[in-house]
Structure 1
Amino acid sequence: MASPWATPEDLRLHLRLDAIDAAQAAAGLGEAEVIVRAALRQHIDAVAGDTVELVGNGRRLINLPEMPVTAVASVHLDGELLTNGTDYRWNRYGILTRLGEPTWRGRLAACWPLDAEVSVVYDHGYAQVPAAVKQVCIQLAGRAWVNPRSMASESIGDWSGTWDKTRAGDALTDYETSLLEPYARGPESR
């Protein structure tokens, strides 16, 4: 697995603490990474030689589930090896375009046949996690550190306090979600 996105020292500085339990901080940051990955529906870290099995959709474009794509080693269509630049092309956004010659009235003959098996071996992810993703991870871990039980309210004697439930523990805020949006993949890639 890739290196952690943030260190206990990053969390200590974010929380402005004199000292921090490194093991607990690392565990909290790891939990925050899991939540951010789930929200993004992306692995984020660089992965080389990942294999994905897709199903043809009857269109010229098909989306790979992870981005950014940094290399495509091979594409097989129902077991037949395709050639990059002749049979398909790819871009960093994870779009595989089926190439073909125009036919009558400019329609294209090539598409990813409906229900065909499309097997792709490719590299994807970021060599260094984007700063915004790292910051959201630290903020999420920081909130969980300050409010470990995700308490929304507390009462002591005649005093009671209520906190914003969306800012408790492991819930991403709307602002954090908007920061993560450029790194997320939409449902069209599934």
Structure 2
Amino acid sequence: MAVLPSLATVADLATLLGRTFTPQQELQAQALLDQASSVVRAYVRQDITRATTTDTFTMRRADPYLHRCAGVVTLPQRPVVDIATVLVAGVESSDWWQDGSDLLLKAWPWNEPPAAHRPPQVTVTYTHGYDPVPGDIQAIVLQAANRVIVNPSGIRSETVGGESVTYLIPAVGEYLGVLLSRTEQRVLDRYRRTAGTVNLRSR
């Protein structure tokens, strides 16, 4: 599986901080941006960046009154920019159309093999994601990385004379480095995939 790029750049982070990084600091900044990007992607369950993927799914029966077709596949990566090819049970098909993230297949004999024994497998090559990365996602990645650079120990307050130190403890427990605040999660909820789609393989 290809390594996904960071959702923000070291140059973006340097501009946010108003500083110039040394080579060693650039490596640290890139590592933090990679971590923050991974955390954001895990939360929204999306790759986010523009890419072309080939995935294989199990076709499910469509509601004939809602979809007016034989079968449907919901593509998990969004937004769907373009669908290049569709193979049903290994045979290329042009008998389909797109409705948002749904791939609708016009006709399929469900009472004949292989559908009689199990639903057919649908292999889809499609382009998805954003180019450029939405500004609010980029801002959250930069904020998450910046928090660690500015406050690597997660200290919220410190009293020097009385030797009192208060640490930033997230709701999940101990301080773990690059995390998302609840406010940031609420912002990301608009991009989050909530409906499950069975993904058999990708290449």
Is contact 2:155–2:168 with CA below 8 Å preserved after alignment? Answer: no
Q: Which amino acid aligns with 1:99?
A: K
The reply to whether residue 96 of structure 1 matches residue 103 of structure 2 is yes
Is contact 1:32–1:140 with CA below 8 Å preserved after alignment? Answer: yes
TM-score if structure 2 supplies the norm length?
Answer: 0.72
Q: Which amino acid aligns with 1:62?
A: V
Q: Distance in 1 between matches of 2:97 and 2:158?
A: 57
Shift of 1:155: 8.1
Matches within 5 A, 1:99-178: 99-100=106-107, 115-150=119-154, 158-166=162-170, 169-178=177-186
Is contact 1:150–1:170 with CA below 8 Å preserved after alignment? Answer: no
Structure 1: which 5+ runs fail to align?
101-112
| 1:10 corresponding residue in structure 2 | 12
| 1:110 corresponding residue in structure 2 | none
Is contact 1:12–1:19 with CA below 8 Å preserved after alignment? Answer: yes
User: Are residues 164 and 151 of structure 1, via their aligned partners in 2, closer, same or farther at CA, if it must alter by over 3 Å?
Assistant: closer
Q: Give the count of matched residue pairs.
A: 174
| 2:84 corresponding residue in structure 1 | 73
| 1:103 corresponding residue in structure 2 | none
| Cα root mean square deviation, aligned | 2.9
Q: Distance in 1 between matches of 2:98 and 2:160?
A: 60
Shift of 1:14: 2.8
| 2:55 corresponding residue in structure 1 | 52
Q: Distance in 2 between matches of 1:34 and 1:64?
A: 21
Shift of 1:137: 0.5
Is contact 2:59–2:72 with CA below 8 Å preserved after alignment? Answer: no
The reply to whether residue 64 of structure 1 matches residue 75 of structure 2 is yes
SS at match of 2:170: helix
Q: How big is each residue's C-alpha offset from its partner over 1:127-164, in whole Å with a ceiling of 9 and x where there is no partner?
A: 21111110110011011222334467878673223244
Shift of 1:4: 3.8
Q: Distance in 2 between matches of 1:76 and 1:7?
A: 37
User: Are residues 151 and 95 of structure 1, via their aligned partners in 2, closer, same or farther at CA, if it must alter by over 3 Å?
Assistant: farther
Q: Which amino acid aligns with 1:24?
A: Q
Structure 2: which 5+ runs fail to align?
63-70, 108-114, 199-203
Q: Distance in 1 between matches of 2:72 and 2:78?
A: 15
TM-score if structure 1 supplies the norm length?
Answer: 0.76
SS at match of 1:136: helix
Q: How big is each residue's C-alpha offset from its partner over 1:90-142, in whole Å with a ceiling of 9 and x where there is no partner?
A: 14x42112325xxxxxxxxxxxx553211111111112111111011001101
The reply to whether residue 25 of structure 1 matches residue 29 of structure 2 is yes
| 1:185 corresponding residue in structure 2 | 193
Shift of 1:47: 1.1
Q: Distance in 2 between matches of 1:64 and 1:94?
A: 5
